[in-house]
Amino acid sequence: SFEHDQASDTRGRGIGHWTEKPARRSPASRRHVSARPRIGSGMGTASMQKSWRKACGAIKDSTTVSLAKVNSGRDHLKDLDVAVVKATSHVERPPKDRHLAKIVSARSRTEVSHCVHALARRLSNTSNWVVALKALVVIHRALREGDGGAFREELLSHGRRRGHALQMSSFKDDSGHLAWDCSAWVRTYALFLEERLECFAVLRYDVEAERLRAPAPAAEGQTPHTKAQGRTRGLGKDDLLEQLPALQQLLFRLVGCQA
């Protein structure tokens, strides 16, 4: 029977059969075992790297906010520094409205210049696509909703003195596939904003911020216009030929952002 055979085997081989060490594997077999892929190890490593980057980003933001509170001289400039850092944090969410409102509400030349310098410094010091993209969004919103003329002039002046704040042709975040793809979009978005400033330098008005004028009253016996007319409709052919290349280039950059 099975029990009889098992007992005989135990008596024949002794108790050492149950306690003896297993045979040692050859080096070749050990290499074969160690070469087996570990299931899920790649996913775990990627998740750890992402968590680590988020933690590092949070620490950087907290440190930068603390430094801004200490280094800024005046209280209102200190608030602007903190608003810039918080609006361009490493968190993958759009800038919060309360931080944007603080930046957009800058009116004096000193405040606008301080905001532009803080945003330019933020762009030049980061290699994180989230921070770069949020900084560009803040600049775009400031041009549209803030004192656009002051922000435009300060950005152009900053470019003449220290190099263009929106010059990001070499920007890249190689921390992952998504970061790599988003880096290309950041560069394209920066080109659009830079072209918008250049277009303003040629046209002397901001196309995006330009309000369509109310239609002129129709003369007696004419059909009234139902559409408002943009500024370019009233240009002569010489002015139109001068401004058209700048408008075409701006349109080209805009289409590039949508591609």
Q: What is the pLDDT of residues 150-173, one digit of tens each?
A: 888 888 888 777 777 888 999 999
pLDDT of residue 189: 95
- Report which residue type is found at 136: L
User: Which CATH number is 68-209+234-257 given?
Assistant: 1.25.40.90
Average pLDDT, the chain: 75
Q: What is the pLDDT of residue 145?
A: 86
pLDDT band at 14 (very low <50, low <70, confident <90, very high): very low
pLDDT number for residue 149: 80
Domain ranges (residues) in the chain: 68-209+234-257
pLDDT reported for residue 2: 43
pTM: 0.69
**217, pLDDT greater than 60:** no
Q: How confident is the model at residue 16 (pLDDT cuts 50, 70, 90)?
A: very low
* pLDDT(11) > 50: no
Alpha carbon distance 81, 72 (integer Å): 8
pLDDT band, very low/low/confident/very high, at 25 (cuts 50, 70, 90): low
pLDDT of residue 214: 46
In single-letter form, the type of residue at position 158 comes to: H
Give the pLDDT mean for 235-244. Answer: 84
171, 183 contact by CB (below 8 A): yes
pLDDT above 90 covers a percentage of the chain that reads 31
Q: What whole-number distance in Å separates Cα of residue 64 and Cα of residue 188?
A: 27
For residue 52, is pLDDT > 80?
A: no
Instruction: Note the helical H segments in the chain.
Output: 2-13, 16-19, 27-34, 41-71, 75-87, 97-104, 109-125, 129-145, 148-162, 177-203, 237-258
Residue 139: pLDDT above 90? Answer: yes
Kindly list the distances between the CA atom of residue 171 and the CA atoms of 154, 185, 222, 247, in Å, as whole numbers in the listed order.
Answer: 23, 10, 56, 26
- For residue range 97-126, list pLDDT tens digits in order: 999 999 999 988 999 999 999 999 999 999
Which pLDDT tens digit goes with each residue over 177-210? 899 999 999 999 999 999 998 888 888 877 776 6
Contacts by 237-243, CB closer than 8 A, 24 or more apart: 242/202, 243/202, 243/203
